[in-house]
């Protein structure tokens, strides 16, 4: 169907659209339903005003297979209080020892997907070692 639009029809349609959109100003009644369509749904989703970046962390992936360890003697850097995560896939049991302040010891099991997390409170050099295999995985300079 084709209709002919006249200037009078256009003005009437525009006036109705403005009233429905709430652009005519506030009526002072405090009626929340008179808000614009774009803002009516914004209260349905929570507003996140305190968004935080994920915390910084150092992640070291360790593989122990057939008596060989990777990495070995890796030189890394971290910050005081920063999370340090050691992820281990191992085919042998061992003890992971972290020479830091405070010190940490973790039991490594012969399985994949192990994760050990710690923080360092005092700046300095932190060695991460495997006791049974007598290997240094990493030396971490903590500042």
Cα(142)–Cα(45) distance, integer angstroms: 41
Spell out where the chain has E strands: 57-65, 68-70, 74-78, 83-90, 94-99, 104-108, 114-118, 124-130, 135-142
Cβ partners under 8 Å of residue 134, min gap 6 = none
CATH dotted code for 57-142: 2.60.40.420
pLDDT at res. 54: 66
143 residues of the chain, pLDDT tens digit each: 444 444 554 455 555 454 455 544 444 444 444 444 444 444 455 565 567 766 789 999 999 999 999 999 999 999 999 999 999 999 999 999 999 988 999 999 999 999 999 999 999 999 999 999 999 999 999 99
* 122 phi/psi in degrees, rounded to 5: -125, 130
Cα(69)–Cα(90) distance, integer angstroms: 9
pLDDT at res. 92: 97
pLDDT at res. 102: 87
Q: Over the stretch 11-23, which tens digit does the pLDDT of each residue have?
A: 555 554 544 555 4
Domain residues of the chain, as ranges? Answer: 57-142
pLDDT at res. 101: 84
């Amino acid at each position: 169907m084709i209709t002919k639009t006249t200037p009078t029809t256009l003005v009437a349609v525009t006036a109705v659209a403005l009233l429905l959109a709430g652009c005519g100003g506030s009526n002072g009644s405090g009626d929340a339903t008179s808000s614009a369509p774009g803002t009516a749904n914004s209260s349905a989703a929570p507003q996140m005003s305190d968004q935080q970046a994920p915390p910084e962390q150092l992640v070291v992936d360790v593989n122990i297979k057939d008596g060989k360890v990777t990495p070995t003697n890796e030189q890394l850097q971290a910050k005081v209080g920063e999370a340090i995560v050691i992820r281990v896939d191992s085919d042998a049991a061992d003890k992971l020892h972290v020479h830091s302040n405070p010190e940490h010891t973790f039991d490594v099991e012969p399985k994949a997907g192990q994760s050990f997390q710690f923080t360092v409170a005092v700046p300095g050099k932190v060695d991460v070692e495997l006791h049974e295999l007598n290997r240094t995985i990493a030396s971490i300079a903590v500042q």
